[in-house]
Chains A and B, each alone.
Chain A
């Protein structure tokens, strides 16, 4: 019998003290669902980078996870400033992170690139001043 699991975690913008907290909880849930190895590794990287981007650039957001027998589908939605030039944002090394963010070890400009690398399918939908939606698919 095929089973589906779906759960969501809210993420608050600018809350660097808790960066990674949602990702850690999500990884635990996924492990509990029997997800391991390379699939778990890639999912954790994709979710962590998405979480950090909400904290770095948006006011608030939400991570939604759907797990089926075949894949893990992750939708990350935020109500931030949006990404004007998605192609540029995807480039390795491109970052608008400020000094404060860089001092904490973020802002290498590798996040979106790494998410794409870890995904079997990846799409960014964004509108200026409305927010951003990342759609990540990882096959099991």
Chain B
């Protein structure tokens, strides 16, 4: 499954990095502690978080995530958008809670 399908199914808004929506999603990881996400998320994962600070972008680049989903309608900081655009990391936003978001993605990935 690629990000385009997730955007469609969960009605996510695409803040930036739309060119990368064809990326395959290998799975997901949810967390707000950067050390936890560095240690435990995997390449190709979609990262679900409510952390909107620009430092999430470097973590996503290093982990080679498919993209980042900010939950609860969190607005990414301007610096975050700038960095994610430059690095080509898809930045997506949902009004849903983390629980709802993860549950729906899990069901899509493991039908």
Contact = CB atoms under 8 A, between A and B. Distances in A.
- Chain A CB within 10 Å — which of B35, B43, B54 has the most? B35
Interface string A1-37: 0000000000000001101110110010000000000
Contacts of A94: none
A124 interface: no
A110 B35 contact: yes
Interface of A is mostly: helix
Given A104-B53, A114-B38, A19 B58 contact: yes
B34 to A, nearest CB: 4
A49 interface: yes
B38 A105 contact: no
Contacts of B51: 105
Contacts of B62: 20, 23-24, 27, 44, 48
A39 interface: no
A108 B51 CA distance: 14
B53 A117 contact: no
Interface residues of B, number: 20
A108 B55 contact: no
A27 B33 CA distance: 21
Given A23-B62, A105-B32, A105-B33, A110 B54 contact: no
Nearest to A21: B58
A103 interface: yes
Contacts of B58: 19-21, 23-24, 48
A23 B55 CA distance: 13
Contacts of A23: 58, 62
A16 B38 CA distance: 16
Please list the 3 inter-chain residue pairs (A to B) with the smallest Cβ-Cβ separation, ordered nearest first.
A20-B58, A110-B35, A108-B33
Given A44-B63, A106-B55, A111-B35, 10 more contacts: A17-B54, A20-B57, A23-B58, A45-B38, A45-B39, A52-B34, A105-B32, A105-B33, A105-B34, A114-B35
